Chain A
Amino acid sequence: MLNLKVEFPDDDPRLGAKGVLEDVAWTELMARSQNGDAAAYLRLLQEITPYLRRRVAAYHQDARDIEDTVQDVLLTVHSVRNTYDPSRPFGPWLLAIAKRRVFDSLRRKIQRQGHEVELSDEHDAVPDADDPLDAIPARVRLRGAIEGLPPGQRQAIRLLKIEEKSLKEASEETGMSIASLKVATHRAIKSLRRMLSDRGDL
């Protein structure tokens, strides 16, 4: 069960933003608005908006939420303006509507937050080099790049780097000199680096 209490504690609702006089002025403007005076209505709405914004800011930090709620209050004031009795002060009437709309906006916010889930590591989509699953695509690409090397370089990489044989063993197996194996390996790594970085992998 939602239990929200919306109060504007620092506020005597009979006062406007600056004091009693302003409320009298607002009462007058609202009475004229009810008679269809567009200029009075425009002035009233322009004057109550900063006042409402300050009241609503006590409940919302996000500027967007504040504007949203203020606009909701203005729209409600517009749609129920026939319920205002000019023989009574305007402030309490306005604040009662504002409280209702702040309450609604808080309820919407709580509902929205209920549908949101905080992201954990599980939701991380950036590949992690230590994760064996994430490493598979990289391995496939590396293998493809090795296949693209000239035969001498490919053999040198396979024996020395993948099968991790010593230079002497590799030399015996291929009949190549140790120096030419070193050169082949060096060139192979250089061209692998070029090939993979061209594709943005390194």
Chain B
Amino acid sequence: MIHTSDLIQSLAADIRPVRRLRPPAIRASGWLLIAGAIMVGLYFGKGLRPAFAERMSDTTFLIGMLASLATGVLAAFAAFLVSLPDRSQRWLLLPLPPLVVWLSSIGYQCLAGWVGLPPGAVTPEAAAGCASTLLVTSLPLAVAMLFMLRYAAAFRPVPVIIMGSLAVSALTCTALAMFHPLDATVMVLGWNLATAAIVTGVALLINRRASRQRRRHLRTTDRS
């Protein structure tokens, strides 16, 4: 094993100026701006869903949409906060209240949809449009989030990934509610949870590999 004082010497010799991260609230706002830009793009590209104003007068729909929007915003703030080593993990509870409201509104939708949807209402075209909105919204958001929080892989990957995927899911659902006639919340959640599981697995692998590399680095420095 390399001697600790030698390691310190080599780290100090290796130091380069680094750019400090901006405060987490500003970084989260930056990410939310990207989400906002995508929404605007969808508005001009696709237009609002048919009878949007009519749906807005439906209290359940309105509450569900606002709750998913609030969940997305708060989860994004929580993700950027807990990605820093010295911030409390209690920030993870931040999106919990709107999440509860949102999930309970899904429950109602599911039931209502089950009863009210006539057979053949979900056409392949409608489902494909739904899936494209889902991809266009969640993919860039997930990639941006991963890029902005990549340093968290070194010490707190799992909670950060869960919060990040929650933010992406919630905002994607908001977009779908605004731009798509089908209530596809369960599909979006399923999609994003699966993505989250994959990303978590990859992050854990990276973490292990980084840890192994750190060790290998120590051993090779030792030999030289």
Contact = CB atoms under 8 A, between A and B. Distances in A.
Nearest to A39: B12
Nearest to A52: B4
Interface residues of B, number: 31
A83 B149 CA distance: 10
Interface of B: 1-2, 4-5, 7-9, 11-21, 23, 83-86, 151, 154-156, 211, 214, 217-218
Interface in A22-74: 33-39, 41-42, 45-46, 49, 64, 67-68, 70-72, 74
Contact of A68 (B1, B9, B17): B1
A46 B23 CA distance: 28
A93 B20 CA distance: 14
Nearest to A72: B214
Given A67-B4, A74-B7, A93-B86, A81 B211 contact: no
A78 interface: yes
Nearest to A49: B4
4 nearest A-B pairs in the assembled complex, by CB-CB distance: A36-B17, A42-B12, A96-B85, A93-B86
Contact of A82 (B9, B21, B211): B21
Given A76-B155, A96-B85, A41 B15 contact: yes
Contacts of B11: 41, 45, 74-75, 78
Interface of B is mostly: loop
A104 B4 CA distance: 19
Interface of A: 33-39, 41-42, 45-46, 49, 64, 67-68, 70-72, 74-76, 78-86, 88-89, 92-93, 96-97, 100-101, 104
B151 A80 contact: yes
A67 B13 CA distance: 20
A81 B18 contact: yes
A71 B7 contact: yes
A1 to B, nearest CB: 13
24 contacts: A33-B15, A36-B16, A38-B12, A42-B9, A68-B1, A71-B7, A72-B211, A72-B214, A74-B4, A74-B8, A76-B155, A78-B11, A79-B154, A80-B155, A82-B19, A82-B151, A83-B84, A83-B85, A84-B20, A84-B86, A85-B20, A85-B21, A85-B84, A97-B155
Contacts of A88: 86
A36 B20 CA distance: 12
Interface of A is mostly: helix
Contacts of A38: 12-13, 15
Nearest to A89: B86
Contacts of B5: 46
A83 B214 contact: no
A71 B86 contact: no
A68 B2 CA distance: 9
Contact of B214 (A36, A42, A75): A75
A2 to B, nearest CB: 13
